[in-house]
Amino acid sequence: MVAHKNARMPAVRSLFISDIHLGTRGCQATQLLDLLREHPAQHLYLIGDIIDFWAMSRGVYWSPAQNTVVQKILRRARHGEQITLIPGNHDEVLREYIDTVFGEIKIQAEIVHTTVDGRRFLLVHGDEFDQVTLHHRWVAVIGDVAYNFLVRVNLLLSRLRRLLGRPGYWSLAGYAKRKVKTAMQFIFSFEEAVVRHAQDRGLDGVICGHIHWAAIKEINGLTYVNCGDWVDSCTAIVEHHDGRLELIHWDGGTVADEHTTDANLNLPGIPDVA
Ligand SMILES: [Mn+2]
């Protein structure tokens, strides 16, 4: 990563970002600006839900930092960076402009990106593979902390039930775990559907967004890549100059040690609930 300091070569060959949700309060535009500054690229792919027109129809939140994000991206396009925008469901109004060019940014429904080591990836936002219309933000809430909290709440609840003389046992934590498992199944079926689509096209993998769950992993012999989001996780995917793909978890100007991968999915003690 020293190369770009002296040479003309940008920091990375390609930068893949999705689910920025500009126009909403949740958008982490300042963090994104830091990431963009550190990662000039030859190719920049904006893989959907970049501007949240859905949320903006209910009320616009547009900060100076969000303005700067747009300006920086347009400037990068002017300076010769190859920028492609693939509309998502929250910016589906842009789908009317597919195959046109705006301020030197190409708008495409999907595109195949070939890494420098010759692997061909399908780039799509991914909402067409979302079987259930789920509000996915709550997926981010799951984990140890929430689980332990629920266990404690459940203790209080069962005491209350005893006091009220209610028989039987109902587990709030168990309920939550069933919900978590449903979310996991949602993620897995999404991943498999996207991969199957890339497989049908004879490609080596897919790079998508939409479910706000960043990952790089092998599924059925293909490489599944998800860019994550800039609402809670602040993640992006880069292609290095040797073609290697890396998941970056941006944490206030540094790359966090712990990358968001599916390793984080090892939730404690999720039993098989029928
Ligand atoms: Mn989406």
Alpha helices, DSSP H only, in the chain?
Answer: 3-6, 29-38, 53-58, 64-78, 144-163, 172-200
CA of 244 to the centre of ligand 1 (A): 26
Report the largest interatomic distance among the alpha carbons of the chain, rounded to a whole angstrom: 75
CA of 95 to the centre of ligand 1 (A): 13
In residues, how long is the chain? 274
Question: Which amino acid is residue 220, in one-letter code?
Answer: N
CA of 91 to the centre of ligand 1 (A): 8
CA distances from 162 to 148, 149, 158, 165, 173 (A): 21, 20, 6, 5, 17
Q: Is the pTM of this model over 0.85?
A: no
CA of 148 to the centre of ligand 1 (A): 30
For residue 104, give the nearest of 135, 80, 88 by alpha carbon.
Answer: 80
DSSP character at residue 96 = G
CA of 88 to the centre of ligand 1 (A): 5
CA of 140 to the centre of ligand 1 (A): 15
CA distances from 22 to 7, 63, 195, 229 (A): 33, 9, 28, 11
CA of 18 to the centre of ligand 1 (A): 9
Q: pLDDT digit of tens for each residue in the chain (274 aa)?
A: 444 454 578 999 999 999 999 999 889 999 999 999 999 999 999 999 999 998 888 788 999 999 999 999 999 999 999 999 999 999 989 999 999 999 899 999 999 999 999 999 999 999 888 865 444 444 434 444 555 566 667 667 777 777 777 655 566 666 766 777 777 787 888 999 999 999 999 999 999 999 889 999 999 999 999 999 999 889 999 999 999 999 999 986 555 444 434 433 433 333 333 3
CA of 49 to the centre of ligand 1 (A): 5
Alpha helices, DSSP H only, in 93-143?
Answer: none
* Cβ atoms of 37 and 69 closer than 8 Å: no
Q: Which domains does the chain have, with CATH numbers?
A: 3-128+204-265 (3.60.21.10)
